Structure 1
Amino acid sequence: MADTKDEKTAAPKKKGKLLLLIGLPVLALAAGGGGAVYAMQAGWFNAAPHAEADDTPKLVPKSEEKRATLAGGGEGEGGEHGEAAPAAGEGGKPTPAGEGGDKYASSYYPLEKEFTSNLQGSVHFIQVGVAVSTPYDQRVLENIKTHEIAIRSQVLMALGETSEEEVFTAEGKRHIQDRLVKAINAVLKEKEGFGGVSNVYFTNFIVQ
């Protein structure tokens, strides 16, 4: 008989605990849902993290290339804004833009003053004018202008590695161009973390 009484008195306690356990998740869900809404409204956290802005120079499509125009060409010549007309292909028909050419635009920048350097193992020296090109946006040219003193120093060092044999052949001059591209990009990467120079051109080349 004592066991029966204990079982009857214990039963309501279990039921009470069950109701209590069911009620706690409901309260927690309500409180959690309300808290989450409040936190979102207060800006405590965002649904998705913000991606870091990519500040590296971007390639410029050929369609956005700045074209040079002939003097005196107004409206009716080269378009409303003075843009040059497409070059004529076979049969006198205009060549479609971008066909048979570079995929990206080219921007040019001539370095101020010419460079003079002794040739390696020779009594001769060279005097060259240098211009660079890039398929990237104006930030590369701005970087070149900003660090032109450091670039000039590196170019002179690269020219000092030039041999007499290189300056008298087209292949040798191309080797010099490649060396100067690497030298200029090395400075830009060190200073800005990005090179971007695709080629070097000689605007003047004298051997004495």
Structure 2
Amino acid sequence: MSDTSTPEGKSKKGGIIKILLFVIGGLVLVGVGLGAGFFLFANNVTPSEEIDMIIERKLQEAGQLPPPEEEEGEEAGPTRMAKPVEETGTFITSYYEFPGNFTTNLRGSRKFLQVSIGVSTQYDETVVQNVETHQLALRSEVLGVISEFTEEDVQGKDGRDAIAARMRDAINAKLEELEGFGGIEGVHFTSFVLQ
């Protein structure tokens, strides 16, 4: 028979107890970790739903959405009131640049004016398509407008603005004649050279 009272027998029992304590302690730590992980990460919200909730909360904080309905019985403090805002349509400006340059002589001068232009509109793409379709007729109108100006007329920003306004009017008149609607709101110079 073995004697457990010997020092060798006691150390075997102590070693087994230590091993059992380590195993049980490890299992307890694993259980606590799994439980904490479950409570932290076991929500049933998908990432897209979570993003929607965040966006909704931010919009509510900014006053763009009404606050969430509060449960009855809770004392509600001051609530935000949404201020009605008039809806304004945002217009997109479309641009079209005529290919190449426009070069013609100025009235009563030996000098030439060479310009590159683009037009802008806030109407739909139909206006830009009409400009592309009738580009040849519009180029002729632009050259006619330029040739009406003198060298003194085109000097400075005021002169360029006057030419741009006359070009806009001439282009719109030609488009109205050809398509029934102008729609060009601005003429812009991409180059402007007096030689």
Range into which the TM-score falls when normalised by the shorter chain: 0.5 to 0.7
Counterpart selection for 2:130 from 143, 157, 160: 143
For structure 2, which runs of at least 5 residues remain unmatched after alignment? 1-88
**Structure with max Cα Rg:** 2
How far apart are residue 163 of structure 1 and its match? 1.2
Instruction: Name the counterpart of 2:146.
Output: 159
In 1, the alpha carbon distance for the partners of 2:119 and 2:152 equals: 24
TM-score by length of 1: 0.50
Counterpart selection for 2:121 from 134, 150, 160: 134
Residue 189 of structure 1 aligns to a residue whose secondary structure is: helix
Instruction: Name the counterpart of 2:102.
Output: 115
Q: How do residues 78-97 of structure 1 correspond to structure 2 at under 5 angstroms?
A: none
Q: How do residues 36-47 of structure 1 correspond to structure 2 at under 5 angstroms?
A: none
How far apart are residue 105 of structure 1 and its match? 1.9
Instruction: Name the counterpart of 1:206.
Output: 193
User: For each residue in 1:78-97, what CA deviation from the matched residue of structure 2 results, as whole angstroms up to 9, or x when unmatched?
Assistant: xxxxxxxxxxxxxxxxxxxx
Instruction: Name the counterpart of 2:28.
Output: none
Residue 178 of structure 1 aligns to a residue whose secondary structure is: helix
Q: How do residues 1-208 of structure 1 correspond to structure 2 at under 5 angstroms?
A: 104-208=91-195
For structure 1, which runs of at least 5 residues remain unmatched after alignment? 1-101
In 1, the alpha carbon distance for the partners of 2:181 and 2:116 equals: 24
In 2, the alpha carbon distance for the partners of 1:153 and 1:180 equals: 11
In 2, the alpha carbon distance for the partners of 1:189 and 1:115 equals: 22
Runs of 4+ in 1 over 4 A off after TM superposition: none
In 1, the alpha carbon distance for the partners of 2:106 and 2:96 equals: 26
In 1, the alpha carbon distance for the partners of 2:185 and 2:105 equals: 26
AA at the equivalent of 1:182: D
TM-score by length of 2: 0.53
Residues 103 and 177 from structure 1, CA distance in 2 versus in 1: closer, same or farther, beyond 3 angstroms?
farther
In 2, the alpha carbon distance for the partners of 1:184 and 1:138 equals: 16
How far apart are residue 187 of structure 1 and its match? 1.0
User: For each residue in 1:8-29, what CA deviation from the matched residue of structure 2 results, as whole angstroms up to 9, or x when unmatched?
Assistant: xxxxxxxxxxxxxxxxxxxxxx
Among all aligned residue pairs of Structure 1 and Structure 2, give the percentage whose two residues are the same amino acid.
46
AA at the equivalent of 1:121: G
User: For each residue in 1:132-160, what CA deviation from the matched residue of structure 2 results, as whole angstroms up to 9, or x when unmatched?
Assistant: 00010000000001100000011110111
In 1, the alpha carbon distance for the partners of 2:107 and 2:118 equals: 23
In 1, the alpha carbon distance for the partners of 2:109 and 2:139 equals: 22
Q: Which has the higher helix share?
A: 2
